[in-house]
Amino acid sequence: MDIDSRNMKGVLRDFPQQVMDAIRMGEEVQIPRFNFNGIMFCGMGGSAIGGDVMTSLVRSVPVWVFRSYDIPEWVGKDTLAFVISYSGNTEETLAAYEKLKKTRANIICITSGGKLAEDNPPFVVKVPSGLQPRCAIGYLFFPALMILKRLDMVDFDKDELLSKLADMSRDLGDEDSDAFVLASKLLGRLPIIYAASPLEPVAKRWQTQFNENSKVLAHINIFSELNHNEIVGFGNPGIDNLVIILKDANYNPRIEKRIEITKQIIAPYTFGIKEVCAEGNSLLTRLFSLMYLGDWTSYHLAVQREVDPTPVERIAYLKNHLNAD
């Protein structure tokens, strides 16, 4: 029996091409030069993670991500709002969108169709359908990035990013790859993922990919917050976990020192500690190369656990029962 019945491996290998296509979509979309002093993202699950990434990239104005049926009362004419739902039918996002329409916010929608597209919003990026939302992060993130680039909010090295992802795509599917080896160490163990700014969105992505692809629980926390509470919770020698520390070359030196001391404290209470370093010159490349490694690791862990990485039957069950009334 083919464990990967819907070819998640092929989808992952094609990710660099998805990024190229999504960048082109963002370049082609026609938008006015909005005036705003804050950016918000409305979305859930795989449709929201791009907003988290943007909080690490945009520094000139505040960026918020809302995973909710509601929106804050301060939203208005000075807000640029991205409403992102891959299916176009996400219940929470549609509810937030209806409330946004009653404000004077500048709204841009990114979707493959569904009710969101049917509403004919004035500014919409229509992306290809047929993927799991978590596998469409390129389509859901890069059009927004290109729009913000045009509005002078971000800049990035496109060539470096695409080259790095292409190199990784050739290697990470193999059984001698870093992703496969890390997955082997995680087999039967709880992944505990630690990071610090600007890699917090990457830790969240790793967690949710382990949840949906590998079908395992995973835990995340952030330096230096975890130094004020979580390190006290490590207690039982031999506990079945593996700590993964996501590293960035531009971490604050005090964060680096905290990481080293934390490793000393928790080492007796974990199977092991694995440091994984982001690679690349630009922040965007470092963020996406590390997320891509996590995607592949979660895929390999699924296969090693003999579970199909694509279906998310419990989410489907929940949605069906929500709609039963």
| Percentage with pLDDT > 70 across the chain | 98
Is the pLDDT at 292 greater than 70? The verdict is yes
Is the pLDDT at 257 greater than 70? The verdict is yes
Using alpha carbons, select from 293, 276, 297, 278 the residue that is nearest to residue 185.
297
How many Cβ atoms from other residues are within 10 Å of residue 152's Cβ?
9
**Catalytic-residue membership of 28:** no
**Catalytic-residue membership of 212:** yes
Distance CA 115, CA 101 (A): 14
Span 119-132, pLDDT tens digits: 999 999 999 999 99
What pLDDT does 235 receive?
Answer: 86
Same domain, 217 and 267: yes
Strands 219-222 and 272-277: unpaired
In a domain, 288, yes or no: yes
In a domain, 253, yes or no: yes
Least confident stretch, 1-5, 52-56, 63-67, 312-316: 1-5
Distance CA 87, CA 1 (A): 29
Mean pLDDT of 296-304: 99
Strands 219-222 and 190-195: parallel
Same domain, 23 and 113: yes
Residue whose structure tokens are 């993922």: 193
What pLDDT does 1 receive?
Answer: 58
The CATH number linked to 117 is 3.40.50.10490
| pLDDT mean across residues, the chain | 96
Is the pLDDT at 236 greater than 90? The verdict is no
Span 77-90, pLDDT tens digits: 999 999 999 999 99
Same domain, 62 and 110: yes
pLDDT confidence of 2, banded at 50, 70, 90? Answer: confident
Same domain, 187 and 128: no
Strand residue runs (E) in the chain: 38-42, 63-66, 79-85, 106-111, 124-126, 190-195, 219-222, 241-247, 272-277
Same domain, 192 and 94: no
Same domain, 101 and 193: no
In a domain, 156, yes or no: no
**Catalytic-residue membership of 319:** yes
Same domain, 146 and 241: no
Overall domain count for the chain? 2
| Percentage with pLDDT > 90 across the chain | 97
What pLDDT does 237 receive?
Answer: 64
Span 149-172, pLDDT tens digits: 999 999 999 999 999 999 999 999
Catalytic residue among 212, 215, 274, 300: 212
In a domain, 102, yes or no: yes
In a domain, 217, yes or no: yes
Same domain, 28 and 109: yes
Using alpha carbons, select from 140, 133, 145, 110 the residue that is nearest to residue 46.
133
Catalytic residue among 101, 115, 185, 319: 319
Per DSSP, the residues of 247-275 read E-TT--HHHHHHHHHHHHHHGGGSSEEEE
Mean pLDDT of 179-191: 98
In a domain, 155, yes or no: no
Residues 6+ apart with CB under 8 A from 257: none
Contact 166, 216 (CB under 8 A): no
Mean pLDDT of 276-283: 97
Domain range for 242 is 177-304
pLDDT confidence of 239, banded at 50, 70, 90? Answer: low
Same domain, 142 and 198: no
Q: Between vectors from CA 51 to CA 157 and to CA 74, what angle results, nearest 5°?
A: 125
Distance CA 287, CA 19 (A): 14
* AA identity, residue 250: N
For 139, the token pair is 């389509």
Is the pLDDT at 199 greater than 90? The verdict is yes
Same domain, 80 and 207: no
In a domain, 257, yes or no: yes
Catalytic residue among 228, 260, 306, 313: 228
Question: How far apart, in Å, are the Cα atoms of 121 and each of 18, 51, 98?
Answer: 24, 20, 11
Same domain, 181 and 137: no
Is the pLDDT at 46 greater than 90? The verdict is yes
Mean pLDDT of 131-140: 98
In a domain, 310, yes or no: no
- Would you tell me the crossing angle of helices 283-304 and 158-171 to the nearest 10 degrees? 20
List, in sequence order, every residue forming a beta bridge with 244; answer none if it has no partner: 193, 274
What pLDDT does 208 receive?
Answer: 99
Same domain, 146 and 181: no
